[in-house]
Amino acid sequence: MSTTDVDTAADRGPFAWFHTLGRNGKRAFVGAFGGFGLDAYDFQVLPLSLFAITAYFGITTGDAGLLNTVTLVVSALGGAIAGILADRIGRVRTLMITVITYAVFTVLCGFATSYETLLVFRALQGLGFGGEWAAGAILVAEYCKPQYRGRTVAFIQSSWAVGWGLSVIVYTAVFSFLPQDIAWRVLFWTGAIPAVLIFYVRRNVKDAPRAERALVASPRKGNFKAVFQGKLGRTTLFAALLATGVQGGYYTLASWVPTFLKTERGLSVVGTGGYLALLITGAFAGYVTGGYLTDLLGRKRTFTLFAVLSAILIVLFTNIPPGANGLILLVTFPLGFTTSAIFSGFGSFLAELYPTDLRGTGQGFTYNFGRAVGAFFPTLVGFLAGTMGVGGAMICGAVAYGIAVVALLGLPETKGVELR
């Protein structure tokens, strides 16, 4: 069989998106998948522990919301720095730096002796948390064929659900067998797990050839000002607004659903874990399905579809009458599906909006600017919860998805384009 025959065969079938990556691309996929999944694990240990932390330090719901917000705000800085580093020192080196950063500071959160100390450690964790996706998504996108880019990078995004699911399993076990005053610390200490990934990435993963050439040849690589100039300036503005809406909606849910289920629906630790398992299952299905749809329907149509559905489902989820927890169960899977499927297009869409020598800088800034501004939505929920209740205040998430739809009006469709 000739080389051409092999390539043609690899282009067909349900796993063609993976086969066409090539040997180095597959290794990059594994490294990025693991990095983002463990990033999710380390992020989610705080929302899962929030009820226990609030009681331990005697803080208000507003203070509790601030813990998530400061992580996301600092992640904007981390993402912007990581994006610039990805263009200047390479995707792989940046990936390793970000993973070790979020692992170290997650562990340190478990040793916090005061609310203020926890706030500082959580903020510093955000530096790595914001940067990992910027490096990993670009690393894989640059190995992809255009017709498969959406679904391939979406599978990277799906690792968030895997890491989230792992955190819920560990949370359920730890909080079932230990007093909550020590359980939340143990959960943070398990955040050391991602450090193991560094050994794999260092030995097996390298940048795509196009990125290696840009590191040598481009005089403007990692130039932060360049993404705000000319036509790229308009792209950066609307891409940042899109990221703000999508992440404002998502982090409202990720930060407050566990507390909502415990305080307003009266569920136990095991009961909450069961609902979250269904939400996470929906999330994984959404990530994968959204990736195929973004290649089929286009980037903008897929974003619009899932933004509208997510807003509707948030309203339904938080307004089901007391005592009707069975109805919440019915809404949980589609809620997880839609609010995760909307993320599937980000990796491919943002990569396609920027040239190689500015791809890390543009993608790192816009996605993480969205994290920073979107981070204020959970805090707003925390402060409004005192008068509206947690469920009522979560309407902020639906408003965020409306912002995302408006942002799409200023962005081009990039389905099927070759990376510049």
User: What is the CATH number for 372?
Assistant: 1.20.1250.20
Instruction: Tell me if 172 is assigned to some domain.
Output: yes
Instruction: Tell me if 6 is assigned to some domain.
Output: no
- pLDDT at position 174: 93
Q: Is 138 within 8 Å of 363 (Cβ atoms)?
A: yes
Instruction: Tell me if 12 is assigned to some domain.
Output: no
Query: Domain span at residue 311?
Result: 21-200+227-410
Instruction: Tell me if 367 is assigned to some domain.
Output: yes
pTM of the model: 0.76
DSSP 226: G
Q: Is 261 within 8 Å of 47 (Cβ atoms)?
A: no
Can you tell me the distance from the alpha carbon of 242 to that of 365, in angstroms, rounded to the nearest whole number?
12
For helices 356-374 and 346-353, the axis angle rounded to 10 degrees is: 130
- Dihedral of the CA atoms 209, 215, 217, 222 (nearest 10)? 130
- pLDDT at position 218: 60
- pLDDT at position 337: 92
Considering its fold, how many domains does the chain have in total? 1
Instruction: Tell me if 217 is assigned to some domain.
Output: no
Instruction: Tell me if 9 is assigned to some domain.
Output: no
Structure tokens at 112: 């916090």
At 247, the amino acid letter reads Q
**Between the CA of residue 261 and those of 27, 64, 273, 390, what are the distances in Å?**
39, 16, 10, 10
Pick from 170, 142, 136, 173: nearest CA to 156: 136
Can you tell me the distance from the alpha carbon of 299 to that of 189, in angstroms, rounded to the nearest whole number?
39
Neighbours of 374 (CB within 10 A): 28
At 228, the amino acid letter reads F
Question: To which H or E segment does residue 361 belong?
Answer: helix 356-374
- pLDDT at position 214: 65
- Give the residue ranges of DSSP H helices in 218-268: 230-263
- pLDDT at position 324: 65
Can you tell me the distance from the alpha carbon of 226 to that of 138, in angstroms, rounded to the nearest whole number?
18
Instruction: Tell me if 283 is assigned to some domain.
Output: yes
Instruction: Tell me if 213 is assigned to some domain.
Output: no
Assign residue 247 a region: left if phi > 0, alpha if psi is -120 to 50, beta otherwise?
Answer: alpha
Q: What is the pLDDT along the chain (420 residues), one digit of tens a residue?
A: 333 444 444 566 667 888 888 889 999 999 999 888 888 888 888 888 888 999 999 988 778 878 877 887 888 888 888 888 888 888 889 988 988 898 899 999 999 999 999 999 999 988 888 788 778 888 888 888 888 888 898 888 888 888 888 998 899 899 999 999 999 999 999 988 877 887 888 888 888 887 777 665 565 666 788 899 888 999 999 999 999 999 999 888 877 776 777 666 555 554 556 667 787 888 889 988 998 899 899 999 999 999 999 999 888 877 777 666 667 777 888 988 998 899 888 888 998 999 888 888 998 889 888 888 887 887 788 788 777 777 777 788 889 999 999 999 999 999 878 776
Q: Tell me the three state secondary structure of residue 207.
A: coil
